[in-house]
Structure 1
Amino acid sequence: MADYLHQFIFGIYPYIAIMIMVGVTIARYDRDQYTWKADSSQLLRSKGMRVGSNLFHIGIIFLFFGHLVGLLTPESVYHVVMTAGAKQILAMVSGGFFGVLCFIGLSMLLYRRLFDPRIRATSRFSDIALLFILYIQLILGLVTIPYSAQHLDGSSMIALANWAQHIVTFQPGAADFIVNEAWVFKAHLFLGLTIFLIFPFTRLVHMLSAPVKYLFRTGYQIVRGRGRAQ
């Protein structure tokens, strides 16, 4: 039974989560664009918002792309410049640093959401639940660091990368690579897949509409002051 559950969670569940994420995201954008927004609470009270939000977003963006590159880069590519052990140490140090930044920012945002009366009154259950899910996922990620320190040869990182690369390339046997890994790695993966699953039902969809084009605009916005008319 345990083996079947492992095979389902890490061999089948990833495809269920990704299919729902992609399909529902497209449907939501097509049918209900009015809900496609971040629902920022800054207008209600800006105190603590800027620092917490900046720390959270800086941390989460680095962690996301760090996981993406770290898991999906083949060994033959990064072995040109570093060993698996060196890559794991780099991931532990950088992931720990940005993980702490993200933890501080998310703690500030969660405290603000729970204990500011105005913000709490306008918060939906999904808003608070999402912050708690991200909070737990972040804590699990930080807890993986001491476990990774027990295998500085990079064996755990290689196993996790093999699992991810087999999933995205639709190769069988992906779950077998992590069958002997520590519980915290498996919990971190499972909750990460669950975040993919719930992604299109939450405010997280706003990340797909980041205004990247403004970085490359050719013109500038003209701002006129309220000076005395001439």
Structure 2
Amino acid sequence: MNLLLWGVLPYIMLAVLIGGLIWRYRYDQFGWTTRSSQLYESRLLRIGSPLFHFGILVVIIGHIGGLVIPKSWTDAAGISESMYHVTALALGSVAGIATLVGIVILIYRRRTTGPVFMATTKNDKTMYVVLVAAIVAGLSTTLISVFGPHEDVTYRETVSPWFRSLFVLQPDIASMAAASPAFKLHTLIGMVLFTIWPFTRLVHAFTAPVHYLFRPYIVYRSRDERPVATNAGIRRGWAPIGTPDRESDRAGHGISGRKPR
């Protein structure tokens, strides 16, 4: 079972994640979006969206730091284990709570706002269930590490070595097998989340809006029918050729009425 969960399943997850992203980009580029619903409701969105996005950003940075950076590196940098633990605990708790509160607000908004709820698919509901489960499991591991029985073996000695070993194609199954049940559950839910990621609205997280820096400005034209003042006092508009407004405009600017050849 350990071989299947920690030696085979991670590579299946990576294959589905990478293959799903390629498939989605090639065949569903117009669906590569969050399907924004701000038009229907914006008050709760302005509260829940920043809480969720900024919180999850800190959570991701914390996971990268805890899983990728070996313990020997922080020891060499003069960061003691207690200092690392307190810092990670403080930032992780605040970010995790903000993320959870934000997603709860967004789910409440989606459930109580009629047009937003009507636009919610079964795919969205599945994604929300798995995402909330991953957040709750992550917070649970934090609470267990503080209020639960203190163990000599931490995730930096079990989950982290296993995670890094996956990228050199030599999974350290023994290290992951020694992890606590809470970390194992959190890891399994995380793998499920990344497996379904390419097929949900979460796919927008892999899009870097680099083209925004180079795209031309978008010019919006007003449909207001009020007269627009000009230097000549003549109302400019899209009057068809031959109408009095267009002819007076031509005369005022010295434009001949010859037809183009």
TM-score when scaled to structure 1?
0.87
Matched, 1:118 2:109: no
User: What is the aligned partner in structure 1 of residue 24 from structure 2?
Assistant: 28
Which has the larger helix fraction? 1
2:154–2:179 CA contact under 8 A, matched in 1:
no
Give the partner amino acid of 1:67. H
Tell me, in whole angstroms, the C-alpha distance in 2 between the residues paired with 1:26 and 1:44.
Answer: 32
**1:7, distance to aligned residue in structure 2 (A):** 2.2
- Distance (Å, rounded) in 1 between the aligned partners of 2:72 and 2:211: 34
| Map of 1:180 onto structure 2 | 178
User: Stretches of 4+ moved more than 6 A in 1?
Assistant: 222-227
Deviation at 1:171, TM superposition (A): 1.5
Question: After superposition, what is the alpha-carbon deviation per residue over 1:190-216, rounded to whole angstroms, capped at 9, x for unaligned?
Answer: 0101111111111111111132565xx
Query: For the Cα contact (< 8 Å) 1:52–1:108, is it kept in 2?
Result: yes
What is the CA RMSD across the aligned residues, in angstroms? 2.4
Within 5 A, what are the aligned runs for 1:25-104? 25-79=21-75, 80-104=77-101
Gaps of 5+ in 2: 231-261
Residues 98 and 49 of structure 1: is their aligned pair in 2 closer, same or farther, counting only changes over 3 Å?
same
In structure 1, C-alpha distance between the alignment counterparts of 2:137 and 2:199, rounded to whole Å: 23
Aligned to 2:237: none
What are the Cα deviations for residues 91-136 of structure 1, in whole angstroms up to 9, with x where unaligned? 2211111001111110100111122222111110111221121111
* Contact 1:199–1:205 under 8 Å retained in 2: yes
> 1:189 Cα deviation (Å)?
0.3
Structure with the greater alpha carbon radius of gyration: 2
Partner residue, 1:130: 127
1:87, 1:154 within 8 Å by CA — same for their partners in 2? no
Q: Give the equivalent residue in structure 2 for 1:199.
A: 197
Match of 1:169 in 2: 168
Q: Secondary structure at the match of 1:123?
A: coil
**Alignment CA distance shift 1:167-1:190 (3 Å):** same
- The structure-2 alpha-carbon separation of the partners of 1:148 and 1:168, relative to structure 1 and needing over 3 Å to count, comes to farther
Asked if the contact 1:36/1:203 (under 8 Å) is kept, the reply is: yes
> Aligned partners of 1:222, 1:41: CA distance in 2, in Å?
21
Residues 84 and 154 of structure 1 are in contact (CA less than 8 Å); yes or no, is this contact kept in structure 2?
Answer: no
How many positions carry a matched residue from both structures? 223
Q: 1:131 to 1:199 in 2, by over 3 A?
A: same
Give, in whole Å, the separation in 2 of the partners of 1:62 and 1:152.
Answer: 26
Range moving further from structure 2, 7-16 or 163-172: 163-172
Distance in 1 (alpha carbons) for counterparts of 2:203 and 2:135: 19
Q: Residue 178 of structure 1 aligns to which amino acid in structure 2? A: M
Offset at residue 59 of structure 1 (A):
0.6
- Distance in 2 of aligned mates of 1:128 and 1:164: 29
Deviation at 1:24, TM superposition (A): 1.6
TM-score by length of 2: 0.77
Unaligned runs of 5+ residues in structure 1 are none
The equivalent position to 1:144 in structure 2, one of 141, 144, 167, is 141
Corresponding letter in the other structure for 1:65 = I
2-side partners of 1:94 and 1:6: how far apart?
31
Q: Is the 8 A contact 2:155 2:183 kept in 1?
A: no
